[in-house]
Amino acid sequence: MRLTPANAADRKVLVTEVGTRDGFQAEPAFIPTPTKVEILDALIDAGVASFEATSFVSPRAVPQMADAVQVMAQVERRKGVRLQALVPNARGAEAAAAARVDMMVCFVSASESHNQTNLNKPIGASLENVAEVAAIGRAAGIPLRGAVATAFGCPFEGEVPIESVLRIVEAYAGLGVRHISLGDTTGMATPRLVDAGVAAIRSRFPELEIALHFHNTRGIGLANVLAGLELGIREFESSIGGIGGCPFAPGATGNICTEDLVYLLHECGFETGIDLERAIRVARRVEEVVGHPLPGQVMRAGPRLRHHAVESVRRAVG
């Protein structure tokens, strides 16, 4: 395995932060709007340039995202920073367009069972919703990102055939979508499945830009990132501190952790534009906000070459 990039252009990796949407959405207590904005602004200060910042969903369905309009109005907008929002339907798309999001995100599960559980409708009906969202986005000049949930496995059906994934990707491509995200919603991805899925999409839709979204449910989230890097994937979605996880997937745990991902990328010779020490500080702040331990590891251990005073270490006696 040779991961060290051969040229400067190939060294750049885009990290898309999903914590304030995918992460905060899973918390039982409402995170105040100023706190969400504080976290977003701090991550922008740390060099994060791409976010799935919030979600324009029904507040009855997802109370944590009831302040999407306010979050988008208050977050600092900077040149070169992409603020995306999840939109499940036409009403959400209209609200997102009015809030001037930089990109709308739709998602459909490759598994019929998970789509019914997560979106309460069959895949066909979800794709009709995506078509409506795409039309609203085009009229507003806002591009659409198409996410495929359960792209690497379903907790209800097991293996998800690649053809099921390609069905969703083909529908997105037919609507003019050029950005695709493959979601490991339940943490069932393996490097072998990542290789097969990416190869199948590239073979049929070579014009599409692919991002990967992994969970660390079974402890190999970063191994899957390495597989993606070897395939030439240069965008990964992650969550600060590893916060979040699909509430509609039995046993699913959080997303891969942003600061752990950044540490891995930097140590492998890639460039993210993110200040790791600042990201670690934000992760610790998020842990304070949610009031429970988060699974991030680099936020505790620090970078590999961080120095510690000898006097700070307890010495063996005897």
| Catalytic site residue from 106, 154, 246, 257 | 246
List pLDDT tens digits, range 2-23: 566 768 789 999 999 999 999 9
pTM over 0.85: yes
Q: What is the pLDDT of residue 249?
A: 53
The three-state DSSP-derived secondary structure of the chain is CCCCCCCCHHHECEEEECHHHHHHHHCCCCCCHHHHHHHHHHHHHCCCCEEEEEECCCCCCCHHHCCHHHHHHHCCCCCCCEEEEECCCHHHHHHHHHCCCCEEEEEEECCHHHHHHHHCCCHHHHHHHHHHHHHHHHHHCCCEEEEEECCCCECCCECCCHHHHHHHHHHHHHCCCCEEEEECCCCCCCHHHHHHHHHHHHHHCCCCEEEEECECCCCCHHHHHHHHHHCCCCEEEEEHHHCCCCCCCCCCCCECEHHHHHHHHHHCCCECCCCHHHHHHHHHHHHHHHCCCCCCCHHHHCCCCCCCCHHHCCCCCC
List pLDDT tens digits, range 160-199: 999 999 999 999 999 999 999 999 988 999 999 999 999 9
> Is residue 2 domain-resident?
no
246 labelled catalytic = yes
> Is residue 1 domain-resident?
no
Q: What is the pLDDT of residue 8?
A: 79
237 contacts 181 by C-beta, under 8 angstroms: yes
Q: What is the pLDDT of residue 96?
A: 98
103 contacts 82 by C-beta, under 8 angstroms: yes
Angle, vertex CA 153, rays to CA 147 and CA 157, nearest 5: 115
CB atoms within 10 A of CB 159: 12
Count: domains in the chain: 1
The percent of residues in the chain predicted with pLDDT above 70, rounded, is 92
**Main-chain dihedrals φ then ψ at residue 257, nearest 5 degrees:** -85, 130
- Segment 269-274 mean pLDDT: 97
With cut-offs at 50, 70 and 90, classify the pLDDT of residue 254: confident
Q: What is the pLDDT of residue 305?
A: 77
| Residues in Cβ contact with 274 at an 8 Å cutoff, skipping those fewer than 6 apart | 15, 46, 47, 48, 262
List pLDDT tens digits, range 222-235: 999 999 999 999 99
Q: What is the pLDDT of residue 309?
A: 66
Domain ranges, residue 145: 9-312
> Is residue 317 domain-resident?
no
> Is residue 155 domain-resident?
yes
Q: What is the pLDDT of residue 304?
A: 87
Please report, for the domain that includes residue 228, its CATH number. Answer: 3.20.20.70
> Is residue 35 domain-resident?
yes
> Is residue 4 domain-resident?
no
The percent of residues in the chain predicted with pLDDT above 90, rounded, is 83
With cut-offs at 50, 70 and 90, classify the pLDDT of residue 246: low
Angle, vertex CA 274, rays to CA 301 and CA 83, nearest 5: 120
> Is residue 204 domain-resident?
yes
With cut-offs at 50, 70 and 90, classify the pLDDT of residue 117: confident
Shortest CA distance to 279 belongs to which of 295, 298, 255? Answer: 298
pLDDT higher than threshold 80 for residue 253: no
Indicate the average pLDDT of the chain: 93
> Is residue 103 domain-resident?
yes
With cut-offs at 50, 70 and 90, classify the pLDDT of residue 119: confident
